[in-house]
Amino acid sequence: MKRIDRREFVRWGVTAGSMLAFGGAPAALVRASGKRETKKKVIVLGIDGLDPDLTELYLSQGKLPTFAKLASEGGFRRLKTSLPPQSPVAWSNFITGMDPGGHGIFDFIHRNPKDYNPYLSTSSVAGGGKTIEIGNYVIPISSGEVKLLRHGDAFWQILERHDIPATVYKIPANFPPAPTKQRTLSGMGTPDLLGTYGIFNYYTTEHAELKPDIGGGEIHDVKVIGGKVDARLRGPGNAFKKGNPDTYVDFTVFVDPVNPVVKVRIMDQEFILKQGEWSGWIRVAFPMIPTQSVPGTCKFYLKQAHPHFKLYVSAVNIDPASPALPISTPESYAQELESKFGPYYTKGLPADTQALDHGVFDEGDFLSLDEDIFREDRAILDYELSRFDSGLLFYYISNADQRQHMFYRFIDKEHPGYDPILAQKYGNVIEDTYIAMDRILAKVLDKAGKDTLVLVMSDHGFTYYRRSFNLTTWLEENGYLRLVNRRQRDAAFPGNTDWSRTRAYTLGLNGLYINRKDREGKGIVAPGAERESLVRELAEKLEAITDPATGQKIISKAYIASEAYHGSYVDEAPDILVGYARGVRCSWATPLGKAPLELFENNMEHWSGDHCMDPDVTPGILFTNGKITSDHPSLCDLSPTMLHAFGIEKQAGMVGSNVVEFHG
């Protein structure tokens, strides 16, 4: 699951303007930190969202010959995902060998128990730094710290301590990058230049509106006057001015009166776009003070020139040539890649699922962008494989995840959003993506020698998402949560909650919290027997809920965190993790703390495939050229497995174990 930046969630992201660093060292060839030449090597291909059921189907049809070859030489197993099966949680399990009780990541969204205010789970800004005020300007004299909130050592940090080199490309849940001298580039969780998970801009002469509860974009009503459109692009807040006002870059679009073509002029650049054409990377710089600006990069897409003008501009990415926020270790690694390939996508998960759900994109527009992302990743993979000669290489691919989220409705004829006409055109997208992953694997195996352990894994699988459940509504209807004003059911969390009468509340996609006296700022439930009794009562009732429209049980299991997790951070976790049954997920209103009148809804969004359910419903995959020694390997086992390949024992706190024997 990657789309948690619904409208209110933008407020909860990191604020780019308060943590900008200007300039950067010139690019140079960057070596991984470890200097020891290792005879045995490890390549890990992380394919987000690859599902075992679909993999087995395509294997049986002979469509994945490279995967079949790898399975015959080594092994293939379903890979137990995290609880809950959300991407930041799952990748943190993989990175640390711990479950959420050890690494402290429980959801996309956490909350401060003292005031209930939510924040993104994996990163934060610790303090705004010291400043002095001169007139209208606020001059920073020390910067705030961008902090990674995941606990526990990453496997590449452990390898570094043993002098073993590692390159880790776009691993999720690692922004800002964990401290290391190894080559790492942050992936999912890396914000755009605004400090959000991605805000697109759409400029149009045709009236358009964003759908409620779906964030990720801004609509700009524009006019064509005298054959041109004057517009501006919003940048980060100006930390040098009082009130942190937004910054902007102006641009002009000249529209050909006859042909479907435009010329765009922005800063000192001009370029031509035909209808249906993407620009290359366009560099922009947002002015802060006369001597300082913040660089970024973006792409323009001309959707239509006539009769209505429709121009899409991607989220403004951090410029890897001069990163305004930390995205790599060492800092020069991001610059090295830029010097070889030019600007590249730095925002985590750059495929714009929000633009498709809002109707700004159609399916073809979305695929054209995602294919561009895939081309870039393939090129950088070729580069990293060409110079890989020692230690470990981890490489991440996002496309299978994003396309399954948006195109699952074309392979599920019972989905409420199934369209047989569109299914004829796009029904093979998911299958074709799996076949493309097979070709990627072939590249990896061509590079891997007999002394190279190859692991191909996914963090979770996928299934259909047909029905939504409003968990906050259920809590309110059953007396566990009270609203201040029942007429304002769409008010976002936490303002409309009457904490003096609320015993339980939900936040995020799978978490349910007890309003505890010993933890929450306005808690009313006593620790010990009262809390324990309430947890058991809620778990039993949740598991008994059925959907009146289908008769289906909607929650397979309500997991009690104190029984499921291990480690120092169990008490910070939600008290209950809700494991939804196949085809059901929490509504988009639930993570925002809203309580719509209806308890159930049909899912009519393009976002039609998902995995934030019971972990038993959406396991991942594990392929390897070694012998898999466990019938039920899990994500937590892979970090100890990678360490074992280099003769390193698993570390204290790890709950996983080595599950692959490989002798080379």
Task: Please tell me the predicted confidence (pLDDT) of residue 13.
Answer: 42
Give the model's pLDDT for residue 34.
Answer: 66
The percent of residues above 70 in pLDDT, for the chain, comes to: 92
DSSP 307: S
Helix (H, G, I), strand (E, B) or coil at 250: strand
Q: Say what the pLDDT of residue 490 is.
A: 81
Higher pLDDT, 491 or 522: 522
Q: How far is CA 582 from CA 212, 342, 466, 612, 648, in A?
A: 26, 43, 9, 10, 39
User: Could you tell me which residues are beta bridge partners of residue 246?
Assistant: 237
Looking at per-residue pLDDT, the higher value among 489 and 349 belongs to 349
What are the Cα distances from residue 580, in Å, to 464, 465, 544? 12, 11, 12
The whole-angstrom separation of Cα 92 and Cα 152 is: 9
Q: What proportion of the chain, given as a percentage, has pLDDT over 90?
A: 84
When pLDDT is averaged across residues 473-485 and rounded to a whole number, the result is 96
Spatial separation of the C-alpha atoms in residues 625 and 455, rounded to whole Å: 7
592 neighbors 586 (Cβ within 8 angstroms)? no
Burial of 616 (0-12, 13-18, 19+ CB in 10 A): middle
- Residue 538, sorted as left (phi over 0), alpha (psi -120 to 50) or beta, turns out to be alpha
* Structure tokens, 278: 């993407």
β-bridge mates for residue 137, sequence order: 134, 241
Q: What are phi and psi of 472, to 5 degrees?
A: -65, -40
Q: What is the DSSP string of 587-637?
A: -SSGGGT---S-SEEE--SS--EE--S-TTTS-EEEEESSEE--SS-BHHH
| Token duo for residue 95 | 């990175």
Mean pLDDT calculated for residue range 121-146: 63
Longest dimension (CA), the chain: 76
pLDDT at 143 over 60: no
Task: Give dist(CA 395, CA 635) in Å, integer.
Answer: 16
What average pLDDT does this structure show over 641-653?
97
What would the mean pLDDT of 574-583 be, rounded to a whole number?
98
Selected residue with higher pLDDT from 219 and 144: 219
Strand order in the sheet with 269-274: 228-237, 246-255, 261-266, 269-274
Tokens of 350: 């750059």
DSSP type of residue 553: B
CA distance 317 to 245: 19
CB 349 within 8 A of CB 188: yes
Tokens of 650: 């698993």
Encoded tokens for 398: 């996002």
Condensed to tens digits (0 to 9), the pLDDT of residues 496-510 reads: 999 999 999 999 999
pLDDT at 475: 97
Confidence band, pLDDT 50/70/90 cuts, at residue 649:
very high
Contact 662, 625 (CB under 8 A): yes
Specify burial of residue 317 (Cβ count, 10 A radius: 0-12, 13-18, 19+).
buried
Beta bridge partners of 234: 248
Read off the pLDDT of each residue in 635-652 and give the average, rounded to a whole number: 97
The per-residue pLDDT for 129 is 56
483 C-beta neighbours (distance < 10 Å), count: 17
Alpha-carbon 595 to chain mean position = 25
User: Would you state the pLDDT for residue 518?
Assistant: 97
Q: Which of 77, 83, 94 is nearest to 188 (CA)?
A: 94
CA 1 – CA 576 distance, rounded (Å):
19
What are 545's two structure tokens? 């809920």
- Give the pLDDT mean for 598-607: 96
Residues sharing a CB contact under 8 Å with residue 98, sequence separation 6 or more, in sequence order: 92, 151, 152, 566, 567, 636, 653, 654, 655
pLDDT digits 0-9 by tens, 174-220: 999 999 999 999 999 999 999 888 999 999 999 988 887 677 899 99
Which value, in Å, is the radius of gyration of the alpha carbons in the chain?
25
Sign of the CA dihedral running 5, 53, 459, 384:
negative
**Rounded average pLDDT over 92-110:** 97
Q: What is the dihedral of CA 364, 369, 374, 377, to 10 degrees?
A: 180
- 528: CB partners within 8 A, 6+ apart: none
**pLDDT exceeds cutoff 50 at 10:** no
Q: Are 408 and 53 in contact (CB under 8 A)?
A: no
Q: What residue type is 544 in one-letter code? A: A
Bridge-based pairing state of the strands 600-602 and 463-469: antiparallel
Residue 434 near residue 55, CB atoms below 8 Å = yes
419 touches 413 (CB < 8 A): no
Q: pLDDT tens digits, residue range 405-424?
A: 999 999 999 999 999 999 99
pLDDT of 8 over the 50 cut: no
Lowest mean pLDDT among 45-49, 133-137, 465-469, 541-545: 133-137
What is the mean predicted confidence (pLDDT) over 371-388?
98
CA atoms within 13 A on the CB side of 481: 29
pLDDT in tens, 15-68: 444 444 333 434 455 656 667 789 999 999 999 999 999 999 999 999 999 999
Which of 210-214, 371-375, 383-387 shows the lowest per-residue confidence on average (mean pLDDT)?
210-214
- DSSP 8-state code for residue 497: B
> HSE-up of 74 (CA within 13 Å, CB side)?
26
List, as own/partner pairs, every contact residues 364-373 make where C-beta atoms lie below 8 angstroms and the sequence separation is at least 24, other chains included.
365/301, 365/303, 365/312, 366/406, 367/403, 367/429, 368/278, 368/301, 369/278, 369/301, 369/314, 370/399, 370/402, 370/403, 372/278, 373/345, 373/398, 373/399
User: Tens digits of per-residue pLDDT, 432-445?
Assistant: 999 999 999 999 99
Question: DSSP string spanning 190-242?
Answer: ---TTSSS--EEEEESS---PPTT--SEEEEE---BTTEEEEEEEEEE-TTBT
In our burial notation (b when 16+ CB lie closer than 10 A, e otherwise), range 353-387 reads bbbbbbebbebebbbebbeebbebbeebbeebbee
User: How far apart, in Å, are the Cα atoms of 500 and each of 231, 479, 482, 517?
Assistant: 48, 13, 9, 11
More confident residue, 404 or 7: 404
